[in-house]
Amino acid sequence: MNKKVKTDSPDVFIEEIEKIQEAIPKRIDANPQNVEKGLAKLVLTLVELIRKLLEKQAMRRVDGGSLTDEEIEKVGETLMKLENKMKELKEVFGLKDEELNINLGPLGDLM
Amino acid sequence: MKIYAYGVIDSNCRIEDSSKGIEGGRIYNIPYRDIGIAVSDLDGRYQKNINPDHVLEHERVAEKLMESFAVLPMRFFTIFKDKEEILSMMSEYYDSFNENLNRLRGKLEFGLKVIWSGDVIKKRIAENNAGKGQSKLLSNGSPARNYIMEKFEKYKMNRQFEKEGHRDISAIDEFFSGFAVEKKLDTLKSDKLLLTASYLVEKAKQDDFKQAFERLKKSGPDGLKYLFSGPWPPYNFINLTKPEFKKA
Amino acid sequence: MNNVMLKSKDVTLLEILDRVLEKGVVISGDVVISVADVDLVYLGLKVLLSSVETMERLRGAPFAGAGEEPT
């Protein structure tokens, strides 16, 4: 079966592929003992999605030059607080960034 | 006793070769109308811990089936309680299985992974952007403003990074487009992993396809590393329609 | 086995895992135990699965011969 894979640089590929594999979102554990953590993961994933969307929106508006200094200040403060709060909550529930993703089957991953 | 499934095949006949599958079970065909599903029985000797050998066995069986049939390989570790459940499942998915078997008959999957020096490229882009005097925006700001501006620098850098990445990806894809009937491209999964591609190729065109890879190695964009794999059963090209969705 | 041979064996296994764990015909639901039902912990090249007990718990029925100690 070794003949099936050809590469001059197996080391680099092994490293990168393993990195990606570890980032595959695992199923949400609905086990009764872990319900809390499962729910936290779900909620935080959704909050993270919203945060990312808000951030993207802000970037587009900065790019387009359509924000006043006051608006930049406000958006910056909101996003900064949101990101810090997310960091806190992730720590509290022992969740890593890669875990805050949901696999939607044929639709791929949420983020 | 449980039943381990390897792949849906376009035949309702007995499987003639004496291959053994997971835990040494004999491979046999459970027919359903004009198709079937290749399986083996799991008896009590089935180990508690799944290991890479099982994965290799699963793949070996799928590839052996590919020699004689059109195969829709199952995901690893698909186990049914009994024959009745298998037949019920075959009934539900029959139309979808048929469509896939007809579409994929006589075709093989090839894989291509490409690594580039993405980390170096990111640094170069960031340095170029900094050199353009953007950094003065950061020196007179409040924490909130600086936060936004830092994010914006990163945003611009990523956008440029993706632009360069897709330029190389298009150049690479050009080498294969003429020889593949379908393709799936997964781009920029990590800084270094520029591309993970799967190509569906007609059996008759597989030598042409392999030659295209040799040409890519010689004349592709600079600084790239390649991993070429195949032929595989068409894991990446199965489109299953779950039966419920059809009810309108 | 020297280093180069080990690496190419690893890469082959990774390429196979890439396909068989997430792709192919994916049947989920009540009729089947699938890889998504068991805790598949991917640690580098080692694929560790939780024991048959997880499968039994999920299906509510004992697996024949599940009396051995896990290795």
Q: Is residue B131 part of a domain?
A: no
Q: What is the average pLDDT across C48-54?
A: 50
Chain B residues in contact with C46 by the CB 8 A cut-off are 52
User: In this predicted structure, what is the pLDDT of residue B69?
Assistant: 96
Percent of chain B at pLDDT exceeding 70: 92
- Give the helix ranges, DSSP H, for chain A: 10-22, 35-64, 69-93
Q: Which residues of C touch A (CB under 8 A)?
A: 4, 7-12, 14-18, 22, 26, 36, 39-40, 42, 44-45
Residue B214 lies in a domain: yes
| Average pLDDT for B112-116 | 97
Question: Do B8 and B89 reside in the same domain of the chain?
Answer: yes
Find which of A51, A55, A59 to mutate to test the B interface (most B CBs within 10 Å of its CB). Answer: A59
Residue C5's Cβ-count burial label (10 Å; 0-12, 13-18, 19+) is exposed
Side chain identity at C51, as an amino acid letter? S
For A16-39, the pLDDT digits (tens) are 888 877 665 555 444 555 667 778
> Is C33 a member of any domain?
yes
Report, as ranges of residue numbers, the positions in chain A whose pLDDT lies below 70. Answer: 1-2, 22-35, 103-108
User: What's residue A30's pLDDT?
Assistant: 47
b/e per residue C29-52 (b: at least 16 CB within 10 A): eebbbbbbbbebeeeebebebbbb
Residue C65 domain-assigned?
Answer: no
Residues B8 and B100 in one domain: yes
Taking CA atoms, what residue in B is nearest to C33?
B79
Q: What percent of chain B has pLDDT over 90?
A: 75
Q: Do A105 and C26 touch (CB under 8 A)?
A: yes
Question: Do B90 and B190 have their domain in common?
Answer: no
Asked if B91 and C50 touch (Cβ cutoff 8 Å), the reply is: no
Reported as a pLDDT band with limits 50, 70 and 90, residue C6 is: low
Say whether both B59 and B112 belong to one domain: no
Domain end, chosen from B74, B105, B136, is at B105
Tell me if residue B226 falls in helix, strand or coil.
Answer: strand
Q: How many CB atoms within 10 Å of residue C10?
A: 20
Q: Dihedrals φ, ψ of B183, to 5°?
A: -150, 155
Residue C11 falls inside a structural domain: yes
Q: Which residues of A touch B (CB under 8 A)?
A: 1, 4-9, 12-13, 16-17, 19-20, 55, 58-59, 62-63, 69, 72-77, 79-80, 106
Query: In this structure, are B36 and B85 located in the same domain?
Result: yes
Q: Counting one residue from A and one from C, how many pairs have CB atoms under 8 Å apart?
A: 41
Structural domain count, chain B: 2
* A90, A97 Cβ separation under 8 angstroms: yes
Task: Tell me what pLDDT residue C68 has.
Answer: 37
